[in-house]
Amino acid sequence: MNATAANVLPVVGLEIHVELATQTKMFCRCRNRFGDPPNTNVCPVCIGMPGVLPVMNRKAVDLAMKVGLALNCTVPPLTKWDRKSYYYPDLPKNYQISQYDLPLTVNGYLEIPLAEGAAKSKKVRIRRAHLEEDAGKSIHDHPHHTSVDLNRAGVPLLEIVSEPDMNTMEEVMAYARSMQRLVRWLGASEANMQMGHMRFEPNINLHITAQDGRTVQTPIVEVKNLNSFRAMERTVAYEIQRQLEAWRADPDGYTMDKLGKQNRGFDDARGVTVFQREKEEAHDYRYFPEPDLVPVEVDQAWQAATRATIGELPLARRARYMAEYGLTFKEADALTQDAPTGELLDSAVAAGAEARRCVNLLLSRGAALANERDCTIAEVGITVEALAELAKMLSDGRINATAAAKVFDLTVQTHQSPSAIAQEQGLLTVRDTSAIEQWVEAAIATNPQAVADVKEGGKKQKKAFGFLMGQVMQMSGGAAAPADVQRLLQQKLGG
């Protein structure tokens, strides 16, 4: 085949491993907690001692089913556990309890936003989302040996497998970020990449149509254990280019038919993928039903009870905010990164506050404080009552935007009511016309050039008028009502 490509279509599927936010592990009572001293959250079950028996964690099944239902999956009436046999130092019992032919949830989809914004999305199909136990962690910090921490061994892990429906880097990243948002939204996982709560394994190949009209597929490459969005972005970009160059160098030999599938790892320091091994197939793992665990029967009542805990999902809430509150896509997207932030907004509006005022407060001072503290907007400490009260004060003209920002911060710090803080700090808007008039006259008297620029009109007029407005607000300590300041300035300057 001629190595001149007329069309190159990247084809990407994604396996996402999500550690579930349970108190204990999947099949024992050891704590599921990150950061504890190595090998302290272990017991005979999770380190694979002879004669031990696993006991299923009901909470993990509930959370996994909740994610599956939110992904529009079907929950079969019967699911079972299987042993997946392989040996690594961080898997001391030589097998992993997983699910093979009867997974917990199957055949769903996730809608992902595209770059064009809210109007366009793409449906990525979900093949399955099944439960299993995580392995421990190999630590390669020592020059002469590898350490193993088994605290993570046995932690409940949800593996979400997509169909190969993504064809661009933008789609891959949108899918991954949407999945992180979803599992956090549902309370199923913290999905903290730095803590290993969420890991990616993209499957990548190219469908290449040459100029002679024939189409070939390059070998499917699965890149293992990527633990950041940045690593995945670099991996997918590199692998697409690497496969294209490999095909151009050997168009007849570098094909799926001749080379099959392979696993590679990503070398972050060099920014390249490295061959590890030929990809295992199901028979290599010697799956067989787990003899120490009974199958799980999921009836309609259990499904219905789980579905009732899901509530409004991020995509639907974002669309509602745009329709009901008149928010831009960017504003609505920022307020649907996590469920509690949106609930804070909705509750304040339900308490009688104006939506636009609440949004401005949350996306200005709320977002700034959240960024400083590396938390969500809902976690900065503003209550529904305080947010609603402060928004109402703005709407009623009892406080201006500058003062409101200060009150917001002090409310978070002191937990006092916004009205009490505004009164104590002298931030309530001054509506005394005589006092404002004195400040206006002082600003006019001390800034003759700005006054002249306003009266002359032209390009400088708007800037000069704004400067005088600022001078008056400064003299008033931010307490003067801006509308009154503007009206009096216009009167005195003949505007």
Question: CA–CA separation, 126 vs 161, rounded Å?
Answer: 6
pLDDT for position 495 = 56
Under the banding of pLDDT at 50, 70 and 90, the label for residue 456 is confident
The reported pLDDT for the residue numbered 210 is: 82
224 DSSP assignment: P
| Nearest of 418, 410, 423, 421 to residue 384 by alpha carbon | 418
Residue 238 C-beta-side C-alpha neighbours within 13 Å? 19
- 């921490």: which residue's tokens? 149
Q: What is the pLDDT of residue 6?
A: 74
Question: What pLDDT does residue 58 have?
Answer: 97
Q: What is the pLDDT of residue 159?
A: 98
Label the pairing between strands 262-267 and 221-223: parallel
Query: Which residue in this structure is represented by tokens 């239902």?
Result: 69
Give the pLDDT confidence score for residue 39 in this predicted structure.
Answer: 95
DSSP string, 111-151: EEEETTEEEEEEEEEEEEEEEEE---EEE--SSS--EEE-S
Alpha-carbon distance of 489 to 218, in angstroms, equals 72
Contact between 135 and 141 (Cβ < 8 Å)? no
| C-alpha span between 313 and 491 (Å, rounded) | 52
pLDDT of residue 211: 81
pLDDT at 477 over 90: no
Residues 270/302, Cβ–Cβ less than 8 Å:
no
Lowest mean pLDDT among 4-8, 258-262, 313-317, 410-414: 4-8
User: Does pLDDT of 281 surpass 80?
Assistant: no
First to last CA, the chain: 77
Q: Where are the domains of the chain?
A: 1-11+205-276, 21-188+280-301, 312-425, 433-493
pLDDT at residue number 438? 86
pLDDT on residue 280: 63
CATH topology classification for 433-493: Arc Repressor Mutant, subunit A (1.10.10)
Q: Render pLDDT for 246-273 as a digit per residue (tens, 0 to 9).
A: 999 999 899 998 888 999 999 989 999 9
Side-chain half-sphere exposure of 328, counting CA atoms within 13 A = 6
DSSP tag of 480: B
Question: Model confidence over 356-377: pLDDT tens digits?
Answer: 999 999 999 999 999 999 999 9
Instruction: With cut-offs at 50, 70 and 90, classify the pLDDT of residue 382.
Output: very high
Provide the pLDDT for residue 291: 95
| Average pLDDT estimate for 373-402 | 93
Q: List the beta strands (DSSP E) in 247-311.
A: 262-267, 272-278, 288-289, 296-297
pLDDT on residue 9:
95
Pick left, alpha or beta for residue 43 (phi over 0 → left; psi -120 to 50 → alpha; otherwise beta): beta
Is the confidence at residue 493, as pLDDT, over 90?
Answer: no
The DSSP 8-state label assigned to residue 451 in this structure reads H
CA 447 to CA 437: how far, in whole Å?
16
pLDDT at 167 > cutoff 90: yes
Summarize the confidence of residues 288-309 as an average pLDDT.
Answer: 96
Q: Higher-confidence residue: 91 or 110?
A: 110
CA atoms within 13 A on the CB side of 336: 22
Q: How far is CA 431 from each of CA 259, 289, 421, rounded to the nearest angstrom?
A: 80, 77, 18
Interval 49-88: pLDDT, tens: 999 999 999 999 999 999 999 999 999 999 999 999 988 8
Tokens 């996982």 found at: 189
